[in-house]
Structure 1
């Protein structure tokens, strides 16, 4: 069910929610958090709502979508409430803010937050310079960004490094879960030798490739080279060099990788590029700070890029 409330106020939206709860049995008692999605008023709104709906099937929540419209328009708040089949296992409130209200998202969100429930903010595109100091980010226990959807993904990662605060995370990091698990499990098999260096190859604009290199640099404390691939997509390969032979994962097509390591037959492993809904679902499983992500951001300054041969020779 979709209810449109044009030219409304947050108090009228709240009143309508209470009415729906009393007459239609739509309750908020089972909601575990409030997910605030901050986006523009374009096609990305429906994509973000669909991803949030899919994630809500594991994490029942109230989804509040703040969509900023034209700032030159007269001040107006158009709201939409979605429940039932149009809202997954959640209730979705879409707030479209126009004119001066476009910069007042936090003020519109506060009256609609679930009481005594954690708040998670998600920027599918165009995250603020410092998410923790953004008005909506300041309300949130967790702040989810996505560097891959920024105009300059690699520069966006550097901003994440400079602005990091407890509770920050990025979906470019979440997309690495399968890669990190595969590399860690490979290192658990004999021969148990230290890694001497590593190389990570991927598309030039792939923030996940940078983060994988940063993770290896931070935790292995060895030289890590980051190599650009002319096509991608995303991460193409990761190589861990050891005296007896390398551990390699090569994924040229973005779907299936081949794991090669000494003393073991080559194995084909599933490494499909993860959907946004899967990454969002994973991030909603935790509300505490992600110390590994923080350390990985710190490792970004340790990696050697393929256009810095002199620095690489110094560190070898």
Structure 2
């Protein structure tokens, strides 16, 4: 049995107007076309929808079909409206996971501008470390990831956004601040190093030794900066975080080892699996001018 949606639409029009002529005017068809549609529907259902020929009194089957058809047509119309609106990028869900350094510095102004352009979009923003960003994208928990990621990830699109240097972060009264040059790895000997986890990909042997001697790990950026400001130790963080460090008790000091950089990329599932809202956001992200 194959019931056409138009047959249900014509039937509801006749049943609610109780007139074949009025129903034909509502659906912009001739009375003959509407009558033929009703006949097809009755043949498919195997029973009469109306009592008599005047089409003003529903049969028991007709009353049941009317109730179900109205519910189905309401759902159908809502679906069509949603599809059309989605295609016009007026609504949609954008799920983004970003590393904290990006989420609290460069992402807010981008989100503000994007929201002004597309106020109907629903934005779901999460901050997490790079490894969890990749996992979230691979698991389908988010559509867009912004993180430091491996050179290639199977079934994932990856586009470079920017790179920045790592800095030694310490309290303003730390002796390192008195150095008249960039910080060397040897300068960190004797200082309590707080491991943030952000330097996991740094291959310098001197740094690995310092990191492995650490007895304190703090993964939350806000908590980490607060501890450093209190003089609990020093840490290594991307220079980008200098923008969010409003405390006058903190200093970001450059490293002498200029190789210590990180690259930040946007990762997504294959383009054809992105919804229109997320695809639009990725285009805006890639068009942004990052330092």
TM beyond 0.5: no
Q: Which has the higher helix share?
A: 2
Structure number, greater radius of gyration: 2
Structure with higher RCO (Cα < 8 A, 6+ apart) = 2
Q: Which has the higher strand share?
A: 1
